[in-house]
Amino acid sequence: MFASLSRSAYVRIIPFVLFMGLLAARGNLPQDIGFDLRWLYGLSTLIVGGALAWWWREYGELARQNWPAAGEIGLAIIVGLAVFGLWIVLDAPWMIIGTPSASFVPMDAAGALLWPLIAIRWIGATLLVPVMEELFW
């Protein structure tokens, strides 16, 4: 079955499988394995980002000739910033379902922010996940 897949399929499937596998590992590994599981996101960012970078030229849909016009890019940035603003301020009680909880807490035991962890999470969320969504979903 897999032998009949094209190279184009493989360069999309492999990063997707890596991403989903590491995502599943984050949710299923025991907390007491001697490794801070919050850093598994960073590992995922490096591994999946590395795979995407390795096969970057294979993704025709990301080629320069397929980019939108400058006006469309500007409009997309404006809409993106507006949605970001709404996402931050739309927190009225009627909009919240259940009890809010933070599954990602980028602080050490003393309560200090772990900036490397924040940076890795930000890089993954802003650069890796959008590319994954465009290529695979």
User: How far is residue 71's CA from residue 37's CA, in Å, rounded to a whole number?
Assistant: 42
The pair of three-digit structure tokens given for residue 36, joined into one six-digit string? 């801070």
Query: What is the phi/psi pair of residue 75, to 5°?
Result: -65, -40
The pair of three-digit structure tokens given for residue 30, joined into one six-digit string? 């025991």
pTM over 0.95: no
Cβ-in-10-Å burial (0-12, 13-18, 19+) of 135 comes to middle
Residue pLDDT tens, the chain, 137 long: 567 889 888 999 999 999 999 989 887 888 788 888 888 888 999 999 999 999 998 888 877 777 789 999 999 999 999 998 998 888 788 877 777 666 778 898 899 999 999 999 989 888 888 888 888 87
- The full set of domain ranges for the chain reads 2-88+128-136
Residue 107 β-bridge partners:
113
